[in-house]
Amino acid sequence: MSRASASGAGRAREERSPAREAWALLAGLVHSGPPPFIVVARELGLRPPALGTLRALDEPKTMSEIAAVLYCDNSNVTGIVDGLEERGLVSRTPSEKDRRVKLIALTAAGSRVRSRLMATLEEPPEWLSKLSTGEQRALRDLLRTAVE
């Protein structure tokens, strides 16, 4: 029996799924260093959910929208925004259209903190920077295709 024993369709010279291998390789690369998000959170003296809230505030958002971004219950956002408000990083104002809704927006100080955060997160990791420019372009083009 020299035929492949894997479960895939009947393709000669069976190979391990390239998608699965790519995904495993990517996980290994991404987890190879300290998680940037946690590192930045410590530098800024904020906890990850608070930082995730700042990241989401590219424009003002409601409490519910923030809960959706954080994948947590609505009730948690109250405390998280409370903390950010006490630090003077966000403001909380009722919407004029529907007074049940509160709009959370960055203050000037919050905008500065968010800029520092985004600058760090947008910095490519070492494994990516060390690829050749041609390889970086090839990767970029593949990811553009994936985004469609």
Partner DNA sequence: TATTGTTATACTCTATAACTATA
Partner DNA sequence: TATAGTTATAGAGTATAACAATA
Which residues of the shown chain bind a second copy in the complex (CB under 8 A)?
A: 17-29, 34-35, 38, 71, 121-125, 127-131, 133, 135-140, 142-147
Range in contact with DNA (rule: CB under 7 A) among 6-14, 67-75, 113-121, 137-145: 67-75
Task: Assign 34 to helix, strand or coil.
Answer: coil
Q: Which does 73 bind (CB under 5 to 8 A by kind): a second copy, DNA, none?
A: DNA
Q: How far is the C-alpha of 39 from the C-alpha of 28, rounded, in Å?
A: 18
Q: 140 Cβ partners below 8 Å, 6+ apart?
A: none
Q: Roughly how many angstroms between the first and final C-alpha of the chain, as a whole number?
A: 42
Residue found by looking up tokens 């920077």 in the block: 129
Asked if 57 touches DNA (CB under 7 A), the answer is no
Output the smallest distance, CB 95 to a second copy, in A: 26
- Closer to DNA by Cβ: residue 74 or 115: 74
